[in-house]
Chain A
């Protein structure tokens, strides 16, 4: 088991958002977590990545057999947990190259590998740029500064490719993207799928899932997973919306 979340409860500013959430992800699986606004989707992504604003009040999370909640955010990242942000952050004056070389070497250090020097890193990065069909000047630009919404998210995918994580959590990556950008992001993700790498795709809409077919779909509502199923659940939601499922859940 790569990720095992049990009865996870978390709050922010004394408001409980996650109310006992459980989910298990095996290597190579793609899980989608869907739900209406305010269900706790982004909270789940933030808590797994270790954002400090959230407090875990109960439950446990195991990542590759280790206690994830005991780790700093950077430790989680170095051990292979990657979060693609809903709003990637700008860092003026810091080139993507320096930023990612530092990040890649932090991960390599964790794995006991020697650091990549500028030349090695350049070569390594070039491979990934070609793989993802991105612009060659990407490395020279300041991190996300002056990037369009779509470019920022593609930059996140590029970072994902460089860091080669075990688990990729995509936090509403599709929000604010037009159909072309969406397709580009989805292609990027698909080209990074391997039998070992797992994905958790957090989204409000089904449209991203049409491009990245998940193995499992979970509906999150009011801090809990209220229904799980296969890809067919996406179409059920598409036809009936969240209301039916929520109603069933409330009656039960």
Chain B
């Protein structure tokens, strides 16, 4: 408030948000932005059939997996990059990326060693330690699959889980050890020809997590995967499959980060979730990929296809996401509600700042009778960013008595950002009930001043208002994740905390 005494120009409308903008600009401290220097094996840049074969060979894959990759690659070559999302980017040069990168030591994909500790590169271990990811079996109340660039480094608690019949391992290992399960499910929810990025992923899939929960088993701990992209100009193409057999339950969490780089890094993941009769899956994501800097340099391009099918009766799939990172996010975690009485949920907080662009939402495809879906989306835009909710609710003719409730709230912080909502609704059954609510609000000078006049600092005020806005979604996240998400929001918004 030193300006008060000065005679400066506080006249234009723009200056109304000067203060907020300056607070936001302090956010240059992306805490996870460090780089790990270690010996790596990285494929030369470029993509062609040879590269696809080489990846498969590197992973020592069986013939059927190579076939799957080649089919996808051939199809991908016939497709063109989609640009329908409300995000601007130059067409990518796919020959300018490397499609495989792994630390040299301890990255022995395909060898299902249970003594991972022996083989972990100390630099990589340090990176995960700095990220707070427990990669050694210790007291952590969560099982972790840690993925560094193209390979899984460590998967903890697997023996404990194996006693219950739960398979929790990297995708590469699953291809070796549980080929019948992988073959049964891969591409069933997201076919290789589904979309451009899914096809690319199917061709060059690096690593991911494989989870199978057998009939009637409730996983006693949360399962989680932490994705770390380290190498510059490397794409990460994780492939994750999660299967919950009849009457089982699992809560799965994933987190992500990457070093600060001045060029775009590509992350094109595919996640398939299969939920059988009476089973329930809770899938939570805290996405904090490097968002790029003030001038739009660098950042992760997060082009992700996540989809689950509620295959059996009374099954339930719940997606919860807190998206704060990435330069561009293109992501629509979806539910195909095939089983009668099945339930799909989507809870999302998406925050964009600086020049980030997010186009995210969900698809709820109602096929079964009395299927229900809930969509709660909270979009926060700050800086010069654009934040779009795009969602489809489709009620098929077979979905007698289906119901959907959608609530899309947008909050603008400052006056240079945008919030957009594109709800698509297709109803083919007249017994369906659909509700849609949407609001847009703005953190104004008035709200901030009101808080400040009560003695609350501007930064505390912003974080209080923002967290109030996101409350409904955060309450769906597992406790520790909720806290992390709140902190991430605070950091992404204020920058001074970290």
Do chains A and B interact in one complex? yes
CB distance from A147 to the nearest CB of B (A): 13
- A145 nearest in chain B by CB position: B468
Q: State the CA gap A35–B467 with chains docked (Å).
A: 41
**Across the interface, which residues of A come within 8 angstroms of B2, CB to CB?**
70
A62 at the B interface (CB under 8 A): no
CB distance from B468 to the nearest CB of A (A): 3
**Across the interface, which residues of A come within 8 angstroms of B16, CB to CB?**
53
A99 at the B interface (CB under 8 A): yes
CB < 8 Å neighbour of A91 from B11, B468, B472 = B468
Q: State the CA gap A14–B11 with chains docked (Å).
A: 7
Q: Is the CB of B465 within 8 A of A74?
A: no
Q: Is the CB of B469 within 8 A of A93?
A: yes
Q: Is the CB of B441 within 8 A of A163?
A: no
* Residues of chain B from 407 to 464 with CB closer than 8 A to chain A in the complex: 441, 445-447, 449-458, 460, 464
A211 at the B interface (CB under 8 A): no
Q: State the CA gap A50–B458 with chains docked (Å).
A: 13
Q: Contact string, B452-488, partner A, CB cutoff 8 A, digits 1/0?
A: 1111111010001101111110000000000000000
- B464 nearest in chain A by CB position: A94
**Across the interface, which residues of B come within 8 angstroms of A85, CB to CB?**
450, 453
**Across the interface, which residues of A come within 8 angstroms of B450, CB to CB?**
85, 88-89, 91
Q: Is the CB of A94 within 8 A of B453?
A: no
A149 at the B interface (CB under 8 A): no
Q: Is the CB of A57 within 8 A of B447?
A: no
CB distance from A104 to the nearest CB of B (A): 8
CB < 8 Å neighbour of A103 from B7, B455, B469 = B455
Q: Is the CB of B7 within 8 A of A57?
A: yes
CB < 8 Å neighbour of B454 from A75, A90, A92, A163 = A163
CB < 8 Å neighbour of A52 from B3, B465, B472 = B3
Q: Is the CB of A93 within 8 A of B471?
A: yes
Q: Is the CB of B8 within 8 A of A77?
A: no
A51 at the B interface (CB under 8 A): yes
CB distance from B436 to the nearest CB of A (A): 19
Q: State the CA gap A52–B464 with chains docked (Å).
A: 21
Q: State the CA gap A144–B7 with chains docked (Å).
A: 35
A72 at the B interface (CB under 8 A): yes
B19 at the A interface (CB under 8 A): yes
Q: Is the CB of B454 within 8 A of A159?
A: yes
B1 at the A interface (CB under 8 A): yes
Q: State the CA gap A54–B455 with chains docked (Å).
A: 19
Q: State the CA gap A51–B16 with chains docked (Å).
A: 11
* Residues of chain A from 88 to 133 with CB closer than 8 A to chain B in the complex: 88-94, 98-100, 102-103, 106-107, 110
Q: State the CA gap A163–B451 with chains docked (Å).
A: 13
Q: Is the CB of A92 within 8 A of B10?
A: no
A83 at the B interface (CB under 8 A): yes
**Across the interface, which residues of B come within 8 angstroms of A179, CB to CB?**
none
- A159 nearest in chain B by CB position: B454
Q: Is the CB of A92 within 8 A of B456?
A: no
B92 at the A interface (CB under 8 A): no
Total interface residues on B, CB under 8 Å, equals 35
Q: Is the CB of B441 within 8 A of A92?
A: yes
A-B contact count (CB 8 A): 109
Q: Is the CB of B452 within 8 A of A72?
A: yes
A13 at the B interface (CB under 8 A): yes
Q: State the CA gap A69–B467 with chains docked (Å).
A: 31
Q: Is the CB of B1 within 8 A of A83?
A: no
**Across the interface, which residues of A come within 8 angstroms of B447, CB to CB?**
89-91
Q: Is the CB of A56 within 8 A of B4?
A: yes
**Across the interface, which residues of A come within 8 angstroms of B118, CB to CB?**
none
Q: State the CA gap A103–B8 with chains docked (Å).
A: 30
**Across the interface, which residues of A come within 8 angstroms of B6, CB to CB?**
55
Q: State the CA gap A33–B435 with chains docked (Å).
A: 51
CB distance from B485 to the nearest CB of A (A): 15
Q: Contact string, A1-44, partner B, CB cutoff 8 A, digits 1/0?
A: 00000000000011000000000000000000000000000000
Q: Is the CB of A77 within 8 A of B455?
A: yes
CB distance from B8 to the nearest CB of A (A): 7
- B18 nearest in chain A by CB position: A52
Once A74-B452, A74-B457, A106-B455 are accepted as A-B contacts, the answer to whether A69 and B5 lie under 8 Å apart by CB is yes
Q: Contact string, A217-230, partner B, CB cutoff 8 A, digits 1/0?
A: 00000000000000
Once A93-B468, A103-B455, A106-B456 are accepted as A-B contacts, the answer to whether A73 and B449 lie under 8 Å apart by CB is yes
Q: Is the CB of A102 within 8 A of B456?
A: yes
CB distance from B267 to the nearest CB of A (A): 31
Once A52-B3, A74-B456 are accepted as A-B contacts, the answer to whether A91 and B465 lie under 8 Å apart by CB is yes
**Across the interface, which residues of A come within 8 angstroms of B452, CB to CB?**
50, 72-74, 77
Q: Is the CB of A52 within 8 A of B455?
A: no
CB distance from A11 to the nearest CB of B (A): 9
**Across the interface, which residues of B come within 8 angstroms of A53, CB to CB?**
10, 16, 445
**Across the interface, which residues of B come within 8 angstroms of A89, CB to CB?**
446-447, 449-450
Q: Is the CB of A98 within 8 A of B457?
A: no
**Other A-B pairs, 16, CB within 8 Å; known A74-B452, A103-B454, A106-B455:** A50-B452, A51-B449, A52-B1, A55-B3, A69-B1, A71-B1, A74-B455, A74-B457, A85-B450, A89-B450, A91-B464, A92-B468, A93-B470, A94-B464, A99-B451, A102-B460
Interface residues of A (CB under 8 A from B): 13-14, 49-57, 69-78, 82-83, 85, 88-94, 98-100, 102-103, 106-107, 110, 142, 159, 163
Interface residues of B (CB under 8 A from A): 1-8, 10-11, 16, 19, 441, 445-447, 449-458, 460, 464-465, 467-472
Smallest CB-CB A-B distances: 3 pairs: A93-B468, A94-B468, A106-B455
A-B contact pairs, 17 of them (CB 8 A): A13-B11, A50-B453, A52-B4, A54-B4, A73-B1, A74-B456, A74-B457, A75-B1, A85-B453, A89-B450, A93-B470, A94-B464, A94-B465, A94-B467, A99-B464, A100-B454, A103-B451
